[in-house]
Structure 1
Amino acid sequence: MTTTHVLALDIGGTKLAAGLVSSTGEVRGEREVPTDPADAAAVGAALEGLVDAVLADARAEGVEVADVVGIGSAGPVDTTAGTVHPVNIPSLRGFPLTEAVAARAGRALGRPAHAALAQDGQCFAAAEQWTGAAAGAPSVLGVVVSTGIGGGVVLDGRILTGKSGNAGFISHVGVVLDGERLPGSGALGVVESYASGPAMVRAAQARGWRAGERADAKVLTADAAAGERVPVEVIAAGTRALASAFLSAAALFDLTDVVVGGGVAASGEVLMAPLRAAYAEMAVYPHLADVRLVPSQLPRLSGLLGAGRLGWQTLSG
């Protein structure tokens, strides 16, 4: 037998992934399949298949697996009911996720199992605080800036979950009083209305940038890197909104680090430089000004790593 591992699941709009995570943060035996956003039965069967396959591989290799499964999922989540309600996976809304996964893992292990659930943004933050850009830091906000904005908070080394499991839901932090309405949720003036990839593309096209073209955030950041005025100004405005949300979180949680990941953040200094500049301008107190804003250092397996961290924290109580 090797060192005990926990089974981890990462549930997203395009793929479902599973793997084993060690107590020191190594991921092994990972598998993934596409997500079917429209068929709950297909998603349930795919999850059961992943659990069976990963645990069968573990048995064949003599790997010891604990009886706790960590699950990271697109949110919102309901940790009390063990369900999720993701906007981009309609088939999973109301699905008894933790119950189904725990039952399947228990059958494969031959003993009762328990499943712990967290938002994918929380798992991102947990992974970065465990082995990533903020490894070992006491208070970390992890934020994914992509088609939407997701996030999570780790305090004193543990994932902050809240009453429903949605702590760190930074997409709906207000940055403009009675501002723009967010498509989908209807929230007014929240940061996702200004700083997500689609929001910045909409703002740029409203100013004539590539009007009528099928442009995306990757094109926007590339044009900004080339010095085009409208993309540069729109990204400056978006990152200013993002910096305002970060400052609110830093003031509430006395953060040491903010780690930024996701597709838009992958553009590097095109986003990080104006983001740091805006934050530095707003942060008037020393304990806010010294917060580090850093890009993610983790590879694509960060979702599994964070779900595994959740599993280990559940085991430790």
Structure 2
Amino acid sequence: MPRPLVLAVDFGGTKVEAALVDDRGILLPGSRHRRATGNAASSDELDAAVSEVVLAARADLPAGAALLGVGVGAAGPIDVATGSVSPLNVPAWRDHPLAASVAELVPDAPITLRIDGLCIALAEHWVGAGRGATNLLGMIVSTGVGGGLVLGGRAAPNPTGNGGHIGHVEVGGFDDACACGGRGCLEAVASGPRTVAWARTQGFTGETGEALAQAHAAGDPIAIAAVARAGGAIGHAIASATNLLDLDVVAIGGGFSRVSPALFEHAREALTERTAFPFVSRVAVVPSGLSDEGPLIGAAALVHRPELLA
């Protein structure tokens, strides 16, 4: 018999994806579909993109396979009570009923919606770099910076669905304005677009994270400084979170997390400054063990591993 499957959806500031994922956290080959989102897209365009990927993945369900449900991870903030999302980097959607929209597309399966940061944390805890960890922070460093928490081996209690959103923890020493209204938020300092924007103020002429990665690899001093700045901010935010939560592992995924291994080196260096607090410096800061599949695997975990949800 075919293994039971979950239709996993990941909605973010750059793209929306959907795929079928089995109970081992493995994507069904050929079932992964992707469409662009972006901050210039209209609400109708975003709805169309979601519809296209969800229906395409649903059509890939093998004959005789059980569809256990649909797991949806979305950039935040979200509202789990209403199933609505208001992604900060997608201004066309404010209190958008994403869960209800997906339910109309797949009426024969239950829908579970959570913030994308929690999905990455669940994925890493289930089959990724955080297996065996008691307290884990999963992070996404991409168009934005998101996060989610597993504490005591389960998702942290999360009344509104936004717990662990480390991208909007303010990092000392920075005054960058954030779209959330704060200043010095980690997302405003260390996301891919904001790191590139800072580099451009220093004379960098590239426009993308990919261009920054290439310049860093080539030894460009501005790119090196930009990655050091972002990595240091990430490390300081992790130190603060570890002081608060006694974390074992921080697993970081997302496109910009792969800009250079130096990003992780700078984050770890920021942790070593806590010389009097070995419980902070002990935290392992590691790349995602799941490459770019983590958000989809985590969305599937919402259904395959319901015992992990608080």
TM over 0.5: yes
SS in 2 for 1:128: helix
Structure 2 residue aligned with 1:77:
78
Give the counterpart letter for 1:173 in structure 2. V
TM-score, with length taken from structure 1: 0.84
Match of 1:276 in 2: 268
Matched, 1:180 2:182: no
Verify the 8 A CA contact 1:268 1:295 in the aligned structure 2.
Answer: no
Q: Secondary structure at the match of 1:95?
A: coil
Residue 297 of structure 2 corresponds to 305
Does structure 1 conserve the Cα–Cα contact (< 8 Å) formed by 2:14 and 2:143? Answer: no
Shift in alpha-carbon separation, 1:102–1:172, aligned structure 2, 3 A: same
Asked if 1:209 corresponds to 2:203, the answer is yes
Question: What secondary structure is seen at the aligned counterpart in 2 of 1:30?
Answer: coil
Amino acid at match of 1:80: A
Pairing partner for 1:189 from 166, 169, 184: 184
What is the RMSD of the two structures over their aligned residues, measured on CA atoms?
Answer: 2.7
State the one-letter code of the partner of 2:187.
E
Question: Is 1:132 aligned to residue 122 of structure 2?
Answer: no
Instruction: Tell me the SS of whatever aligns to 1:282.
Output: coil
Q: Does 2:112 correspond to 1:116?
A: yes
Shift of 1:33: 4.2
- Give ranges in structure 2 of 5+ residues lacking alignment: none
Paired residue secondary structure (1:273):
helix
Match of 2:232 in 1: 240
- 2:306 aligned counterpart, secondary structure: helix
Q: Which residue of 1 aligns with 2:278?
A: 286
* Gap change, CA 1:268 and 1:161, over 3 Å in 2: farther
Structure 1 residue runs without a partner (length 5+): none
- Higher Cα Rg: structure 1 or 2? 1
Report the Cα distance in structure 2 between the residues aligned to 1:176 and 1:125, rounded to whole angstroms.
Answer: 25
Give per-residue Cα distances to partners, 1:231-251, cap 9 Å, x unaligned: 434433332221110011112
Q: Secondary structure at the match of 2:296?
A: helix
Alignment-derived partner of residue 88 in structure 2: 87
TM-fit CA distance, 1:130 = 1.6
Indicate the larger mover: 49-58 or 280-289: 49-58
Matched AA of 1:132: G
Aligned length: 306
Instruction: Tell which deviates more after alignment, 33-42 or 184-193.
Output: 33-42
Alpha-carbon distance in structure 1 between the residues aligned to 2:76 and 2:141:
15
Q: Does 1:150 align with 2:146?
A: yes
